Structure 1
Amino acid sequence: MIFSSLFGKSDPNASPRDVGHDELQKAVSEGGVTVVDVREPHEFAGGHIPGAINLPLSRFKPDQIPAGKPPVLICQAGARSGAALRQAHAAGATHVRHYPGGMNGWRARGGAVTA
């Protein structure tokens, strides 16, 4: 799956760094992304997107993001994943995106969650 086609601009007002809900839901269901949850381990254990990995912002290093599938950062409400996104982009990992709605938005829109 090609990153640029997967995360096309379905919302003309969205930042090119953001991934919309429908795009993320499709990518997760097809196994086309690596979801990187930057919440703390106890938050992650309380429910996360199936297949997500946990790299807490408190210890986040952009070089820890696995290579391969396009990475999408997520947190609870969007602030921490935004901070991790800025760190990743500053380190040259400009292919990294984030889901600004966070787990709150993911759950509110019926996204799958596992513990």
Structure 2
Amino acid sequence: MDMNEAQQWIKQFYGERGWTEYGPFIRMGFLMEETGETARAVRAYEIGRDRPDEEVQSRERLKQDLVEEIGDVLGNISLLADLYDISLEEAFAAHQQKLLKRFGS
């Protein structure tokens, strides 16, 4: 699935559930929440959680958690971009050009 297809799928899936009705400030809150969950997943994968009240997870399960959390971040980024009529491809192209201009190839 390319970035535009993914962005359209996210918009439709979230829209069917009423989740696209949130404005940019609420969406940013969701993005920050998911970013924190991604940070927690990275920590668990890299150094563990070291908590006696949590079951030890396998490396495969830890990686799957990380994949899912990164997906949640991407979903929120996609919806935020959509609020401003920005495609993910457009955002990535601008990012790429900025870096190439700044640092060269």
TM-score band w.r.t. shorter chain: 0.3 to 0.5
Normalising by structure 2, report the TM-score: 0.32
Structure with the bigger percentage of helix:
2
Q: Which has the larger radius of gyration?
A: 2
TM-score (normalizing by structure 1) = 0.30
Task: Write 1 or 2 for the structure with the bigger share of strand.
Answer: 1
